[in-house]
């Protein structure tokens, strides 16, 4: 579980809810028609813009990002050092026996064990990076569009409420409550955009950048292994992907089962 995301959601909602209760009656912030306009309108506009499967993929990706642990760059560098040691001691063919959860890393190990050329490995892994960025961009775009539509439908709901309010000007006592109800849809739209959709899009973008960095580490590490560089040299090349403070001494085993 991504605890930073959980902390952000809990703290943000707690602050908003606390402000509502401190300010007075919380019941005035509940308006079912307003929720229908904002949520329903946002989803309808999104489905008109992108395919239904893309919306499902976006919510599925958001769930994975917020619940699955991420592999940081330091761990990936450690993995490549282990592979370098295996290759240095047992040869490239041994890399074909490596067991790993990463489909890209497993594919890279197979290419190395088959003695593929440097250009083939570079092109193959670059294609993986490009396709990953394209897939992730389409997912992020879904939430960015929803963040744009939600406030727009909130304003639309406010306009509907104002029209209904103006039609009742002969009853001055009803103008105040009617105005509050009209403004609620703007509140709903802004809340969804700033507390839900934009943060999710930002989190997905951050995870994409991390995954791209990991794939670049795999690509450069595999090329170094192919040229029979010593694992210390491999580490020196890959450590450039880490900030100075995060660099640490080389660690790792020499068994294929050590790779995760």
- 8-20, pLDDT tens digit by residue? 778 888 888 888 8
Q: Output the CA angle 126-53-197, nearest 5 degrees.
A: 85
47 band by pLDDT with thresholds 50, 70 and 90: very high
Both tokens of 193, joined, read 């955009």
Q: What are phi and psi of 71, to 5 degrees?
A: -95, 115
Tell me the pLDDT band of 87, cut-offs 50, 70 and 90.
confident
Q: In angstroms, rounded to a whole number, what is the distance separating the alpha carbons of residues 147 and 46?
A: 10
Residue 149 and residue 157: Cα distance in Å, rounded? 12
The answer to whether residues 260 and 78 touch, using CB atoms and an 8 Å cutoff, is: no
Cα–Cα nearest to 64, from 204, 213, 166: 204
User: What do you get for the CA distance between the two ends of the chain, in Å?
Assistant: 19
Burial of residue 27, with CB atoms counted within 10 A of its CB: 0-12 exposed, 13-18 middle, 19 or more buried: exposed
The answer to whether the beta carbons of residues 89 and 190 sit under 8 Å apart is no
> What would the two tokens of residue 119 be?
């250009």
Closest CA to 55 of 123, 141, 126: 141
- Sorted by where each begins, the domain ranges of the chain are 1-30, 31-258
Question: For residue 104, which of 128, 133, 85 has the smallest C-alpha distance?
Answer: 128
- State residue 252's pLDDT score: 47
In this prediction, residue 173 has a pLDDT band, given cuts at 50, 70 and 90, of confident
Phi and psi of 14, rounded to 5°?
A: -65, -40
pTM of the predicted structure, to 2 decimals: 0.81
Give the SS3 label for residue 181.
Answer: helix
137 in Cβ contact with 173 (< 8 Å) = no
pLDDT for residue 258 is more than 60 = no
What number is the average pLDDT over the span 89-94? 86
Query: Lowest mean pLDDT: which of 2-16, 28-42, 47-61, 185-199?
Result: 2-16
The yes-or-no verdict on residue 221 having pLDDT over 70 is yes
How far is it, in rounded angstroms, from Cα 63 to Cα 57? 10
Average pLDDT rounded to a whole number, residues 88-117:
88
Q: Is the dihedral of CA 67, 68, 69, 72 positive or negative?
A: negative
The residues, ordered by sequence, that sit 6+ positions from 63 with a Cβ below 8 Å of its Cβ are none
Chain-centroid distance, C-alpha 92: 34
Question: Residue 253: is its pLDDT beyond 70?
Answer: no
């Amino acid at each position: 579980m991504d605890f930073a995301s959980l902390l952000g959601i809990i703290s943000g909602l707690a602050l908003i809810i606390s402000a509502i209760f401190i300010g007075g009656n919380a019941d005035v912030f509940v308006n079912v028609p307003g929720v229908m306009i904002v949520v329903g309108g946002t989803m309808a506009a999104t489905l008109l813009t992108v395919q239904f499967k893309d919306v499902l993929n976006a919510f599925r990706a958001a769930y994975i990002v917020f619940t699955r642990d991420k592999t940081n760059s330091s761990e990936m560098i450690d993995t490549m050092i282990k592979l370098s040691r295996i290759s240095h001691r047992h040869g490239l063919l041994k890399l074909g026996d490596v067991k790993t959860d990463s489909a890209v890393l497993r594919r890279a190990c197979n290419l190395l064990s088959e003695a593929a050329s440097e250009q083939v490995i570079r092109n193959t892994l670059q294609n993986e990076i490009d396709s990953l960025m394209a897939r992730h961009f389409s997912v992020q775009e879904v939430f960015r569009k929803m963040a744009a539509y939600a406030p727009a439908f909130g304003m639309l709901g406010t306009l509907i409420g104002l029209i209904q309010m103006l039609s009742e000007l002969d009853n001055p006592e009803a103008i105040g409550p009617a105005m509050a109800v009209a403004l609620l849809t703007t509140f709903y739209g802004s809340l969804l955009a700033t507390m839900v959709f934009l943060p999710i899009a930002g989190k997905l973008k951050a995870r994409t950048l991390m995954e791209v960095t990991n794939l670049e580490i795999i690509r450069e590490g595999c090329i170094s292994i192919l040229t029979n560089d010593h694992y210390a040299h491999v580490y020196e090349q890959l450590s450039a992907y880490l900030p100075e403070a995060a660099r640490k001494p080389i660690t790792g085993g020499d068994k294929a089962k050590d790779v995760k």
